[in-house]
């Protein structure tokens, strides 16, 4: 018995499997918001057994209560949705990051990918980073082989060891099945709460270029501009925060590609929840 139920899928055109889970690593909702934009109103073609995969104490269902009467329960879902863009099929896997059975889940997704003829897999995410919102969003790339790494994109030099995610494990299992894998991760200012739209726009543009298709992000560009305006207004009201952002601007202007030690340090600081408390929790 598999962890998923899937519709009969026929006539898939060189499908790409896009994977983005909530949680680690999706700072600023960068990965999941990008995945949602890519799939749009795409049909759900597979559902995963969240009773097996999710700890509901960590990802609790929402319960609707109307005048004292329980009317509905909204359960967390992990799904694959299908969308076709310029003749290219996307299978978009999203939902809360599973709490358990990672290896089994990844193995089953790997087998399913072979069955469906998945041509490549794309992982999307966001990494909290000491960068200012006043600079363009930079991306970090990973890949299943060195020939897939874009030399013009940022990537960690040398060997690093970081806490893994369920998306990493899925990618690793697809690599073992000789399916090409790339990952794109946006650097998200660590002081911004909620969806960080510049990161979403940057990821959409990167995926469109990778797949050689056109994907409109006009509405998100407008959201990014509005968010930039709101953040700038907050800085005008909070000189102490503005001073820190100016220091981040100086570091961003002087720094080059990310080193392995920098990437590992940023991830560790984020996971240990030891970020600088000078920033308000709700900025952005």
Whichever domain contains 170, its CATH number is 3.40.50.10900
* Residue 92: per-residue pLDDT: 98
Torsion angle in degrees (nearest 10) through CA of 115, 121, 197, 137:
180
Confidence of residue 254 (pLDDT cuts 50, 70, 90): confident
CB atoms near residue 130 (< 10 Å): 20
pLDDT higher than threshold 90 for residue 185? yes
* Residue 276: per-residue pLDDT: 45
* Residue 193: per-residue pLDDT: 86
* Residue 158: per-residue pLDDT: 77
Distance CA 196, CA 209 (A): 21
Domain that holds residue 253: 4-271
- Lowest-pLDDT choice from 27-31, 56-60, 156-160, 234-238: 156-160
* Residue 255: per-residue pLDDT: 63
pLDDT higher than threshold 70 for residue 234? yes
Note whether residue 283 is domain-resident: no
Average pLDDT over residues 17-30: 94
If one compares 150 and 67, the residue with the highest pLDDT of the two is 67
Distance CA 222, CA 93 (A): 26
CB atoms near residue 101 (< 10 Å): 17
pLDDT higher than threshold 80 for residue 38? yes
* Displacement of CA 64 from its chain's centroid (Å): 29
Note whether residue 231 is domain-resident: yes
Confidence of residue 277 (pLDDT cuts 50, 70, 90): very low
HSE toward the beta carbon, residue 153, CA cutoff 13 A: 23
pLDDT higher than threshold 70 for residue 194? yes
Note whether residue 89 is domain-resident: yes
Which of 258, 245, 242 shows the shortest CA–CA distance to 186? Answer: 258
Pull the structure tokens for residue 260.
């392995």
Kindly tell me the number of DSSP H helices and DSSP E strands found in the chain.
Answer: 8, 10
Q: What Å distances lie between residue 231 and 71, 80, 189, 196, CA to CA?
A: 39, 34, 11, 11
pLDDT higher than threshold 70 for residue 192? yes
Pull the structure tokens for residue 230.
């709101």
| pLDDT tens readout for residues 71-128 | 999 999 999 999 999 999 999 999 999 999 999 999 999 999 999 999 999 999 999 9
* Displacement of CA 7 from its chain's centroid (Å): 25
Average pLDDT over residues 138-147: 93
Note whether residue 279 is domain-resident: no
Length of the chain: 284
Note whether residue 143 is domain-resident: yes
The count of domains in the chain is 1
* Residue 273: per-residue pLDDT: 44
pLDDT higher than threshold 90 for residue 186? yes
Distance CA 77, CA 151 (A): 37
Angle at alpha carbon of residue 186, lines to 178 and 259, rounded to 5°: 80
* Average pLDDT of every residue of the chain: 89
Note whether residue 281 is domain-resident: no
pLDDT higher than threshold 90 for residue 242? no
Confidence of residue 33 (pLDDT cuts 50, 70, 90): very high
């Amino acid at each position: 018995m598999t962890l998923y139920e899937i519709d009969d899928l026929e006539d898939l055109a060189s499908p790409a499997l896009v994977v983005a889970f909530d949680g680690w690593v999706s700072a600023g909702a960068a990965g999941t918001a990008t995945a949602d934009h890519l799939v749009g109103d795409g049909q759900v073609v597979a559902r995963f057994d969240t009773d097996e995969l999710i700890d509901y104490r960590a990802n609790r269902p929402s319960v609707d209560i109307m005048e004292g009467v329980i009317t509905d329960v909204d359960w967390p879902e992990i799904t694959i949705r299908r969308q076709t863009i310029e003749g290219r099929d996307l299978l978009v896997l999203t939902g809360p990051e599973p709490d358990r059975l990672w290896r089994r889940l990844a193995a089953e997704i790997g087998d399913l990918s072979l069955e469906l003829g998945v041509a490549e897999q794309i992982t999307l995410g966001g990494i909290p980073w000491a960068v200012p919102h006043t600079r363009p969003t930079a991306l970090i790339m990973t890949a299943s082989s060195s020939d897939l790494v874009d030399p013009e994109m940022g990537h960690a030099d040398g060997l690093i060891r970081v806490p893994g995610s369920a998306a990493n494990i899925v990618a690793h299992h697809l690599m073992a099945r000789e399916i090409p894998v790339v990952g794109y991760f946006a650097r998200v200012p660590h002081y911004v709460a909620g969806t960080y739209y510049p990161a979403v726009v940057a990821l959409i543009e990167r995926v469109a270029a990778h797949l050689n298709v056109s994907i409109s992000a006009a509405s998100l560009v407008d959201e990014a501009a509005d968010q930039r305006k709101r953040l700038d207004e907050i800085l005008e009201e909070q000189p102490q925060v503005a001073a820190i952002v100016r220091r981040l601007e100086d570091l961003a202007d002087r720094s080059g590609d990310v080193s392995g030690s920098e990437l590992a340090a940023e991830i560790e600081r984020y996971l240990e929840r030891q970020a600088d408390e000078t920033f308000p929790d709700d900025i952005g």
